[in-house]
Amino acid sequence: MASKKIFGIVLAGGEGKRLMPLTADRAKPAVPFGGGYRLIDFALSNLVNSGLRQIVVLTQYKSHSLDRHVSQTWRLSGLLGSYIASVPAQQRLGKRWFAGSADAILQSLNLLRDEKPDIVVVVGADHVYRMDFTQMIDAHIASGAGATVAAIRQPLSLADQFGVIQIDEQNPDRIAAFLEKPKDAVGLADSPDEILASMGNYVFDADVLIEAVRRDGERSDSNHDMGGDIIPDFVKRGEAGVYDLNRNHVPGSTDRDKFYWRDVGTIESFFDAHQDLVSALPVFNLYNREWPIFSQQLNSPPAKFVRDANNNVGTAIDSIVSLGCVVQGSHIERSVLGPWSMIESGAKIVNSVVFERAHIGAGATISMAILDKDVVVAPGATVGVDHDLDRTRGFTVTDSGITVVGKGVRVD
Ligand code: ADQ
């Protein structure tokens, strides 16, 4: 890999409909995660930790907050040609935005022409995981495939959310069949309740990728989608390789988190991933300093826990409390507090995720809830305690009983 020039493309245009209302004002990759992170930080950290230094982030829907995050947080020095740049839809093929993820690459082909890389790593931006891409790139080069798809085992019940891979028995590094989000998938021979899913991360020989998206762009019967059109085309031609995440070894990973890969595209999975983070021994370890997950460096004071006027102590257990928070005479349990949240006297927050700059008034109760940025909860008010009341106030309540309050809402 040492002599090859590698270029990274992050597909970050997804709408994230299933995360509404958290994606009402921001693209899914910009959704906050784990206190101070955004979802895109996981993909970018993996690429940067893998040594990539030329990366573009292709954006589309509601990209303002994503652009701001990428430009403020992911500043590589610019020396030696290093950069991470966010590139909005170019409309270079006429007055239209991107059609699908392959069209997004087609519209940005000038970037590849300028840089002339040998290899292009294309990744999604909405998963929580660690992966060393150098190992996948080496496997790609060794196999001689034009395209290599990263894969991980997932439950059969989730097959309709993933590209499902069938391995070539004669040549286990190759894909024999690929079905994008099939309704009637069959389990693996050695594990009937599982399928081999595409992670939506790919490695391509650059010239082969350019040719493939160009060819796809001319087809009227294509949705111009990487998973739905480009990869199946490579498979048909016998040119698609597979790289199983099981082969990946990330420095500092533990036995518990080495194959953790979580699609946090629904409110339930987003909530569950946070409940994992706040447990004493989470599966996903944010504290691995050998493969750090980078994010914005806030210019904020540390979190503070103080008594109130009646001498009630401010406490947080099994929780993540971000910079700038003040917990005064109130109690936080199994929850994540985003930066600059103020929790007043006697308030209680349990099993919840609170984004940036929340203000929780005295005596308020928050339970099994996700509060978006700038939510204000009036003294004594509740969220997640009475679901009928939550619904009448216009909040989203999931079947599993998670209440979601949108950005900037005042709860009385
Ligand atoms: P999905 O995630 O459902 O499945 P898609 O909606 O195309 O596929 O999103 C893939 C990535 O591309 C996401 O990061 C998204 O933000 C981004 N994206 C989508 N449209 C885009 C556009 N027009 N411009 C820029 N970026 C765009 C994919 C694969 C499956 C695989 C799953 C793994 O298609 O085969 O199993 O990911 O989660």
Specify the ligand 1 atom closest to the Cα of 124.
Answer: 14
At residue 139, the pLDDT reads: 97
pLDDT at 2: 59
CA atoms of 404 and 220, how far apart (whole Å)? 40
Determine, yes or no, domain membership for 368: yes
- CATH number reported for the structural domain that contains residue 342 in this entry: 2.160.10.10
Residues 6+ away with beta carbon under 8 Å from 399: none
Q: Two tokens at 32? A: 């906050």
Assigned domain for 298 exists:
no
How many domains are there within the chain?
A: 2
Do 269 and 164 fall within a single domain?
Answer: yes
Q: What is the Å distance from ligand 1's center to 151 Cα? A: 15
Q: What is the dihedral of CA 126, 403, 326, 74, to 10 degrees?
A: 10
CATH number at residue 138: 3.90.550.10
DSSP for 5-29, please give it. -EEEEEE-----GGGTTTTSSS-GG
Q: Are the CB atoms for 316 and 333 separated by under 8 Å?
A: yes
Residue-wise pLDDT for 166-197, tens only, equals: 998 889 999 999 999 999 999 999 999 999 99
Last residue of a domain, which of 230, 252, 274? Answer: 274
Q: What's the longest Cα–Cα distance across the chain?
A: 73
Give residue-wise pLDDT tens across range 215-248.
999 998 999 999 999 999 999 999 999 999 999 9
Mutate to test the pocket of ligand 1, among 87, 101, 154 (most ligand atoms within 8 A of CB): 101
- Reduce the DSSP state of residue 131 to 3 states and report it: coil
Tell whether ipTM is more than 0.95: yes
Tens digit of each residue's pLDDT (9 = 90 or more) over 129-144:
999 999 999 999 999 9
* 280 falls within a domain: no
Least confident of 83-97, 232-246, 285-299, 381-395: 83-97
Tell me if 178 CB under 6 Å of ligand 1. Answer: no
User: Is 291 inside any structural domain?
Assistant: no
Q: What domain range is 93 assigned to?
A: 6-274
Amino acid identity, position 163: G
- Answer yes or no: is the C-beta of 328 below 6 A from any ligand 1 atom: no
Could you say which of 235, 259, 274 is where a domain stops? 274
Where is the domain boundary, 274, 295, 323? 274
Whether 229 is in the pocket of ligand 1, judged by its Cβ within 6 Å, is: no
CB-count burial class (<10 Å; 0-12, 13-18, 19+) for 142: exposed
Average pLDDT for 269-281: 94
Residue 26's φ and ψ, nearest 5 degrees, are -145, 150
Is 299 part of a structural domain of the chain? Answer: no
Domain match, 174 and 258 both:
yes
Helices (H), 315-407: 387-392
- Tell me which residue has its CA closest to atom 12 in ligand 1: 11
In a domain, 64, yes or no: yes
Same domain, 241 and 357: no
Residue 308 lies in a domain: yes
- SS3 (DSSP) at 249: coil
